[in-house]
Amino acid sequence: MRILLVEDEIKLTDALGYLLRKEKMDVDVANDGDTGLILTQREIYDVIILDIMLPGISGLEILRTIRKTGNTTPVLLLTARDALEDRVEGLDIGADDYLVKPFATQELFARIRSLSRRTGSRYDMGNLVLGNVEYDSKSYVLKVANKQFDLSAKEGKLLELFMKRPGQVFTREQILNKVWGYDVDILETNVEIYIHYLRKKLQGTADLEIQTVRNIGYMLRERQNV
């Protein structure tokens, strides 16, 4: 599981980062709102832990921005004990949960685990299922209705990314980093080629389709019947 922790209290981020890593989670840390926002736009996370009061851009503004861009990553807000209005506003603009400071670390871990399970797909022993689309990430086999396709490793990584976050918009940069890696010099046209490959396999019979979001990237959604 990959976590983004955006919190300006250095001692708290150091302690939480250490404890989360002990729980076998990968953690990126930002101590101000501007850095936190950049990371949400560049990277892909399973859960974002977001303090409301931050230097620079506030946690609520980060949350508002990522929801406007189609980012559906579960967000856990960290709030002050007397900040009821902030908690209500945060939930209204798209937060999934909140935790009041000070808090017990075991409660934080439990909430993170709960949020990480909130996805539109069913995931069981390497199989992802959405509607009539099933993908076996161990054998790279895609099943659509009564058809079966063998995927390449890159096609499989791309499809898994979409199926784990249906409805979330991914930029071409995020897709390149996640599927090909940071240290590989690959053109963005490669993303378009592999999107085309997957669309051909989903075309016609699948309950899902890959939509192009103009000037941003791509998302997986339920097929729109015309």
The answer on 82 and 146 residing in a single domain is: no
Q: For residue 127, what are the contacts with CB-CB under 8 A and spacing of at least 6? A: 134, 135, 136, 137
The answer on 106 and 22 residing in a single domain is: yes
Q: Which structural domain range is residue 171 located in?
A: 122-222
Start-to-end CA span in the chain (Å): 38
Predicted local confidence at residue 182, as pLDDT:
65
Tally Cβ neighbours within 10 Å of residue 161: 18
196: alpha, beta or left? (left if phi > 0; alpha if psi -120 to 50): alpha
Domain stops at, among 81, 116, 151: 116
The answer on 208 and 163 residing in a single domain is: yes
The answer on 160 and 80 residing in a single domain is: no
Q: What is the side-by-side order of every strand in the sheet holding 127-130? A: 122-124, 127-130, 133-136, 141-144, 147-150
Predicted local confidence at residue 81, as pLDDT:
66
The answer on 103 and 12 residing in a single domain is: yes
Residue 197: give its domain's CATH number: 1.10.10.10
Q: 203 phi and psi, to 5 degrees?
A: -65, 135
Predicted local confidence at residue 185, as pLDDT:
65
What's the pTM value of the predicted model, to 2 decimals?
0.74
The enclosing H or E element of 140 equals: none
Q: For each of the chain's 226 residues, which pLDDT tens digit applies?
A: 899 999 999 999 999 999 999 988 999 999 999 999 999 988 889 899 999 999 999 999 999 999 998 888 999 999 886 678 888 888 899 999 999 988 999 999 999 988 887 765 555 556 888 989 999 988 999 999 889 999 999 999 999 999 988 889 999 888 988 888 765 666 778 899 999 999 999 998 889 999 999 888 999 998 876 5
Number of domains in the chain: 2
Domain stops at, among 86, 116, 146: 116
The answer on 108 and 6 residing in a single domain is: yes
The answer on 96 and 9 residing in a single domain is: yes
Closest CA to 76 of 162, 166, 16, 10: 16
The answer on 152 and 101 residing in a single domain is: no
